[in-house]
Amino acid sequence: MPTLDALNAAPLDVFVAALDGVFEHAPWVAAKAAAGRPFPTVAALHDALMAQVRTASAETLVAFLCGHPELSPKVLADPGLTAASRDEQGGLGLDSLGDDLRRFEDCNAEYRAKFGFPFIVCVRRLTPPFVQRAMGRRLASTPETERETAIAEIGYISRLRLKDRVEGPGMPKTDGHLSTHVLDTARGCPAAGVRIELFREGAQIAEGRTNRDGRTEAPLIEGEPLRIGRYELRFHVADYFANWPAAADPPWYDIIPIRFAIAEPEGHYHTPLLLGAWTYTTYRGS
Amino acid sequence: MPTLDALNAAPLDVFVAALDGVFEHAPWVAAKAAAGRPFPTVAALHDALMAQVRTASAETLVAFLCGHPELSPKVLADPGLTAASRDEQGGLGLDSLGDDLRRFEDCNAEYRAKFGFPFIVCVRRLTPPFVQRAMGRRLASTPETERETAIAEIGYISRLRLKDRVEGPGMPKTDGHLSTHVLDTARGCPAAGVRIELFREGAQIAEGRTNRDGRTEAPLIEGEPLRIGRYELRFHVADYFANWPAAADPPWYDIIPIRFAIAEPEGHYHTPLLLGAWTYTTYRGS
Amino acid sequence: MPTLDALNAAPLDVFVAALDGVFEHAPWVAAKAAAGRPFPTVAALHDALMAQVRTASAETLVAFLCGHPELSPKVLADPGLTAASRDEQGGLGLDSLGDDLRRFEDCNAEYRAKFGFPFIVCVRRLTPPFVQRAMGRRLASTPETERETAIAEIGYISRLRLKDRVEGPGMPKTDGHLSTHVLDTARGCPAAGVRIELFREGAQIAEGRTNRDGRTEAPLIEGEPLRIGRYELRFHVADYFANWPAAADPPWYDIIPIRFAIAEPEGHYHTPLLLGAWTYTTYRGS
Amino acid sequence: MPTLDALNAAPLDVFVAALDGVFEHAPWVAAKAAAGRPFPTVAALHDALMAQVRTASAETLVAFLCGHPELSPKVLADPGLTAASRDEQGGLGLDSLGDDLRRFEDCNAEYRAKFGFPFIVCVRRLTPPFVQRAMGRRLASTPETERETAIAEIGYISRLRLKDRVEGPGMPKTDGHLSTHVLDTARGCPAAGVRIELFREGAQIAEGRTNRDGRTEAPLIEGEPLRIGRYELRFHVADYFANWPAAADPPWYDIIPIRFAIAEPEGHYHTPLLLGAWTYTTYRGS
């Protein structure tokens, strides 16, 4: 992976080649931004690239937008699909939509007919149900707003791709953070040894066990965007208060589920559990 | 105490005499309202009396307002003060204002000079600091608004006096309600035997002990307006979690103070305590 | 349905016939208890009946216990099954155990071989998984303890049957109570209009909506034992904090699930939800 | 201040002189421990010093204990008092005990008469009321236990003095930590700008304001033992929820007091406030 320093010093064609695919089929973006070198940070490089997109002529922009693949399992068969797009769409799970898929593809067609370019969304920032929800809302939008939204989504997409292509200081902020913490409010100490599962849209995506500080060894999610969607933490506490005075059999709580939704993929989310023998509290912490 | 039925059937002079003093030095209010008899409820009788006040000519109204005593310890020495006013002002504790009293009397004079009638407030609905606060706000008001406010206060005053003068169905709503409840969330049951004190503006006004349901035998305040003001509940829990696993010495909590302010004298206030060994929660309940 | 007074005054054969089936194939229980009439309460009648069971000779007792049907879908086909047993077992859902059913029937055989009488349990007080759990525990028990346990279960069974057969004062306590309450701690008032579902062992058994007091119009369960088992309340709050300052899109909470287990079928359970915009608390209330 | 390395290498008399006063009038402690040099950590040095105290003959020990000053304002006038003792006792505020002081001095006499040495306690670890409480408990103790307790207290005293006398790695643990944190559970973010006061036994000892993370810039207490005693945090929130939907006038909460007691002077205490508009929760956090 080239460093930012190397890119700042590279001949134009090397610079453009290094950024190939950060923007879909659009080497002109890097070519035009190159004149602004040197960039002090990767974020500044990204800003300069996006400035080229934003100031492109209407004709160039629409051509550029039209160079993006449709969001559809079908495109995975297209040999012209960029590797980045293939990876991103492959992880989305659109093929799991079942009956909804046909409806989604109808929406794709309707969207292109209405706006003149394909529906573009940064799929690494949303779960499939929220991609569908976004489609519904954006179909109801205006052409001006949709052009802005498409450019903003390309900003998210290219920011994530750039991080995989350049090494250097001042990386753009793309990561979210999700963690939890279990406090035993009956004993006045962290609750150790509680098994925790994290589900996203019904599928388990992480698990762990609280340590002596009542925390999992690592955050439940970090180093990537938190996909906008519905999550559920499940705290397995059936045995935690065994041998407790006045503990019931079966215990009052066995699994404590906490459902919540992520709205900001780059946000910092902390969802603690204050656990008593016959009560619990949760909140958005910090 | 006469019944509403008796008043509905009484000769005019008996009716007027029975309500003497409900409105300060103003037998004409009852005399004019008498024509609307029979009244199905005491509240309807009160509405009819207030309708006479509201529809009085500007001249009559100002004379009526001027018939009200000033809010001042000095008026307690005036033999012409009605017994009701004497009782109400005596209970207010204005004489405890100390240095603030002179400032308050200056405000009284300023108020009368600005609006042409004395400052009227239903002192059974506020603590002295909030009488002072009301004075400050009302001095900044307009003559129209102040006339409305004075009439509204006379509505509160007369409503309370009427309840002491007539027996019958449909009493006007003048009472507030303040209660508490202690739940032991470490054992999953009501917390019995907890001593509770209630303070208002720093003075203890009630105390009790929780029974097997975690409640005091009677509400802390009922049967009267809750005075707008600052309150504090103190829950004596030092011994409650003695012999508890992991209890500390001295115990983590000894007295749990909960401060709150009453804003609606006729409101229903419930301030529970969810008590764990190392946590507590309070909220406005219902 | 005969009254207790009528039974107190009835000829012996009428008394015995009226209680036929309260104890399985054992008219002698009622016949012997009849001498203790008149009974002041239905609970006293039940106590007298159980006293006959408890003081029966070992031989009589074992014969009596052996007169009870096995807990098995197969017995539903037996025309000799009492109507009460048919109803009770039919509602249990043993046939839904699937693969576990064969294992359960093996346990039945093992139990009878070990203790000399069938496994008896008051199925109206447990969900099928907890019937299975009870089987596992009781298989590990001693003959003396198991005879006591079987008699205690017959006490529960007959108490419930008696309530359906006699009208009168002093009914034995057989009912549990499960209710909830939603308080909006962000607005300081009951939370109205929240849809609530109650699930037991995964199946929805009740639903409701909170009224202006934040309660459902009726308790979620009353008038019957609460079956020992696992329950889940689901509070549908997705729209509750829409238009709230700083509300997120999608909202932080959409459905709030609260899982808990009932351990006392005749207990009083209250599981409130204190609902803020970004927090919630639950506890066993009273 | 000498370093541990320097002390490890110093001639015996320099070593003893450097530690003069860490143990009251007892240079023999350092002299005997010197043979164990070099010490890898300051804590190891302290352990070696205490080992000399623990293994001293009964006669030497009692003489050593008797070399400690009485806990009394009178000793402040004694020119023979060590500077360390003067500082420690001066900060205790024993002279503020008023009428209790005479009773305390009577206890001092009783203690010396019963055990043969003065009452020794590490006054930097307790507030005056808890020094008094300790006196009451220890008067009821046995000679063996009291000798152990006196040695343990000398361990606490000398550990603190040693930290002021030697620089080096592996300092003994003498510091406590007290912090707080305010979360706004109505908005789902840290509560910034809340003024906080900390009181100990009724006297304000710290104050601060929450920053954008809902924390004070520094812990409320750190770098010293937390004195065993009663504390109160006061959160000034009167204006925090002004302009809030359904905010009351006056606001429901103005000052939120949280009282708690510290039992472990070297402990880590965190007492957060989860603040909603009409609710709050506190707990011992971590």
Within an 8 Å CB–CB cutoff, is residue B217 touching chain D? no
- Sheet hosting strand C221-222, strand order edge to edge: C221-222, C177-179, C268-270
Distance CA C154, CA D25 (A): 80
Q: Given this model, what pLDDT does residue D25 score? A: 93
Give long-range contacts, CB 8 A cutoff, 24+ apart: A248-251: A248/B188, A248/C261, A248/C263, A248/C264, A249/C263, A250/C130, A250/C228, A250/C230, A250/C261, A250/C263, A251/C261
Which residue positions in chain B have pLDDT lower than 70? 96-97
Contacting subunits of C (3+ beta carbon pairs below 8 A):
A, B, D
Among A130, A256, A282, select the one facing C279 at the smallest CB separation: A282
Three-state SS annotation for D139-174: HCCCHHHHHHHHHHHHHHHHHHHHHCCCECCCCCCC
**CB-CB under 8 Å, C276 with A283:** yes
What integer pLDDT is reported at residue B177 of this predicted model? Answer: 97
- Does A278 contact C at CB distance below 8 Å? yes
> Are the beta carbons of C185 and D278 separated by less than 8 Å?
yes
Are the C-beta atoms of B280 and B274 separated by less than 8 Å? yes
The whole-angstrom separation of Cα D210 and Cα D192 is 5
- Among B174, B222, B175, smallest CA distance to B198 is for B222
Confidence of residue A163 (pLDDT cuts 50, 70, 90): very high
If DSSP codes are grouped into helix, strand and coil, which group holds residue B91? coil
Instruction: Encode pLDDT of C166-178 as tens digits.
Output: 999 999 999 999 9
Please check whether residue C282 touches D, CB under 8 A.
Answer: no
Long-range contacts (CB closer than 8 Å, 24 or more residues apart) made by B190-196? B190/B214, B190/B215, B190/C286, B191/B240, B191/B273, B191/B275, B193/B240, B194/B235, B194/B236, B194/B237, B194/B240, B194/B275, B195/B235, B195/B236, B196/B220, B196/B233, B196/B234, B196/B235, B196/B236
Low-confidence ranges of chain D (pLDDT < 50): none
Q: Is C251 in contact with A261 (Cβ distance < 8 A)?
A: yes
User: CB contact, 8 Å: A186 with chain B?
Assistant: yes
What's the token pair of residue A23? 């923007």
Crossing angle of helices C143-163 and C99-115, in 10° steps, is 120
Contact A286 D189 (CB under 8 A): yes
A208 — phi, psi (to 5°)? Answer: -170, -175
**Paired tokens of C227:** 């079956």
Pick the residue from chain B with its C-alpha nearest to A187: B246
Closest Cβ–Cβ partner in B189, B214, B286 for C214: B286
Q: Are D246 and C188 within 8 A, CB to CB?
A: yes
Q: Is there a contact between A254 and C259 if contact means CB atoms under 8 Å apart? A: yes
pLDDT digits (tens, 9 = 90+) for C196-225: 999 999 999 999 999 999 999 999 999 999
> Which residues in chain C have their CB less than 8 angstroms from residue D279's CB?
185, 274, 276
Nearest one of B155, B25, B163 to B85, comparing CA atoms: B25
Q: Which chains touch A (3 or more CB pairs under 8 A)?
A: B, C, D
User: CB–CB of D187 and C252 under 8 A?
Assistant: no
Closest residue of chain D to C189, computed from CA coordinates: D278
The verdict on C249 touching A (C-beta cutoff 8 Å) is yes
Q: A16: part of which helix (H) or strand (E)? A: helix A12-18
The DSSP line for A127-144 is: -HHHHHHHHHHHHTS-HH
Query: Is some CB atom of chain D closer than 8 A to the CB atom of A281?
Result: yes
* Contact criterion met (CB below 8 Å) for B120 and B111: no
Q: How many CB atoms lie within 10 A of CB D112?
A: 14
Structure tokens at C125: 């007080």
Q: What are phi and psi of C70, to 5 degrees?
A: -70, 155
Task: Confirm if A196 and A235 have CB atoms less than 8 A apart.
Answer: yes
**Contacting residues of B for D228, CB less than 8 Å apart:** 250
A212's tokens: 């002596």
Provide mean pLDDT across the span C180-209.
97
CA distances to A19, B48, B86, D218 from A49, in Å: 10, 77, 82, 42
Chains in contact with D, counting 3 or more C-beta pairs less than 8 Å apart as contact: A, B, C
Residue of B184, B253, B279 for testing the chain A interface, max A β-carbons within 10 Å: B279
Pairing of strands B195-200, B229-236: antiparallel
List the one residue out of A240, A284, A286 whose CA is nearest residue A259.
A284
Instruction: Tell me what pLDDT residue A227 has.
Output: 97
The answer, for A248 touching chain C at a CB cutoff of 8 Å, is yes
State both tokens at D217: 């810039």
Mean pLDDT to the nearest integer, C232-252: 91
pLDDT 10s digits, A49-90: 999 999 999 999 999 999 999 888 887 778 888 888 888 877
Cβ pair A190:D283 closer than 8 A: no
The Cα D26–Cα C233 span in angstroms is 69
pLDDT for the residue numbered C120 = 97
A-B contacts at Cβ under 8 angstroms = 46
Q: Check residue B35 and report its DSSP letter.
A: G
The nearest CA of chain C is from the CA of D241 a distance in Å of 10
- For chain B, say whether C213 makes contact (Cβ under 8 Å): yes
pLDDT, mean of residues C21-48: 97
- What CA–CA distance (Å, rounded) separates A151 from A65? 8
List, for residues C112-127, the tens digit of each pLDDT value.
999 999 999 999 999 9
Which one of A190, A284, A286 has the shortest CB-CB distance to D286? Answer: A190
Q: What is the pLDDT of residues C53-104, one digit of tens each?
A: 999 999 999 999 999 998 888 877 788 888 888 888 777 777 766 778 889 9
Per-residue pLDDT tens for D89-98?
777 777 767 7
Identify the sign of the CA torsion C54, C60, C61, C64: negative
C54–B contact, CB cutoff 8 A: no
Please check whether residue D280 touches C, CB under 8 A. Answer: no
**Contact with chain D for residue A283, Cβ under 8 A:** yes
Q: Which helix (H) or strand (E) holds D242?
A: none
At residue D74, the pLDDT reads 80
Q: Is D283 on the interface with C (CB under 8 A)?
A: no
| Long-range Cβ contact pairs of D212-215 (< 8 A, separation 24 or more) | D213/A286, D214/A286, D214/D181, D214/D182, D214/D183, D214/D184, D214/D189, D214/D190, D215/D179, D215/D180, D215/D181, D215/D182, D215/D190
Q: Which of C200, C281, C286 to mutate to test the interface with A (most CBs of A within 10 A)?
A: C281
Q: How many beta-carbon pairs below 8 A join chains B and D?
A: 68
Burial category of D130 from C-beta neighbours within 10 Å (exposed 0-12, middle 13-18, buried 19 and up): buried
Please report residues of A whose CB lies closer than 8 A to that of B188.
Answer: 246, 248, 252, 277-278
D-chain CB neighbours of C251 within 8 Å are none
Q: Which two tokens stand for residue A206?
A: 């992480």
- Between C242 and C172, where is the model more confident? C172
**Residue C23's pLDDT band (cuts 50, 70, 90):** very high
Q: B278, A185: Cβ pair inside 8 Å?
A: yes
What pLDDT does D139 receive? 97
**Minimal Cα–Cα distance from B110 to chain C, Å?**
38
* Alpha-carbon gap, residue B262 to B205, rounded angstroms: 15
What confidence score (pLDDT) does residue B262 get? 98
Give the rounded distance of the alpha carbon of C45 from its chain centre: 21
Sign of CA dihedral B169, B173, B175, B178: positive
First to last CA, chain A: 34
B255 in contact with D, Cβ within 8 Å: yes
A261 in contact with chain C, both atoms CB, cutoff 8 A: yes
Token couple for D89: 């006792």
Output the pLDDT for position D98: 73
What gap in Å lies between CA B197 and CA B258, rounded to an integer? 10
In A, which residues are within 8 Å of D190 by CB distance?
Answer: 286
Inspect the interface and report whether the beta carbons of C248 and D188 lie closer than 8 Å. Answer: yes
Beta strand D177-179 pairing with D182-184: unpaired
Amino acid at D123: V
3-state secondary structure C95-147: HHHCHHHHHHHHHHHHHHHHHCCCCCCCHHHECHHHHHHHHHHHHCCCHHHHH
CB contact under 8 A, D251 and B230: no
- Could you tell me the domains of chain D? 4-163 (1.10.3330.10), 177-282 (2.60.40.180)
Q: Out of D189, D214, D286, name the one closest to residue A189 (CB).
A: D286
For A28-43, what is each residue's pLDDT tens digit?
999 999 999 999 999 9
Tokens of B31: 């005399």
C265 alpha-carbon distance from chain centroid: 5
Tokens of residue A106, six digits: 């109808």
Q: Could you tell me if B239 lies within 8 Å of chain D, comparing CB atoms? A: no
- Count CB neighbours of D280 within 10 A: 23
**What are the counts of helices (DSSP H) followed by strands (DSSP E) for chain D?**
9, 11
The full DSSP string for A235-282 is: EE-TTTTTT-TT--SS-S-SEEEEEEEE--TT-EEE--EEE-SSEEEE
Determine the Cα–Cα distance for residues D192 and D194; give it in Å rounded to an integer: 6
pLDDT tens readout for residues A192-251: 999 999 999 999 999 999 999 999 999 999 999 999 999 999 999 999 988 787 789 999
d(Cα A253, Cα A239) in Å, to the nearest integer? 9
Residues of A in contact with D276 (CB under 8 A): none
The pLDDT > 90 percentage for chain A reads 85
B190 touches chain C (CB under 8 A): yes
Rounded distance between C-alpha atoms, residue A30 and residue C237, angstroms: 47
Please name every residue paired with D279 in a beta bridge, in sequence order, or none if there are none.
B283
Helices B99-115 and B143-163: crossing angle, nearest 10°? 120
Chain A CB contacts of B242 below 8 Å: none
Interface check for C240 against chain A (CB to CB < 8 A): the answer is: no
- B: neighbours with 3+ CB pairs under 8 Å? A, C, D
Distance of alpha carbon B78 from alpha carbon B85, whole angstroms:
11
Alpha-carbon distance D238 to D250, whole Å?
8
**Best of A184, A240, A279, A283 to disrupt the B interface by mutation (most B CBs within 10 Å)?**
A279
Amino acid (1-letter code) at residue D205: I
Residue A200's pLDDT is what? 97
* Chain D residues lying within 8 Å of C277, measured CB to CB: 185-188
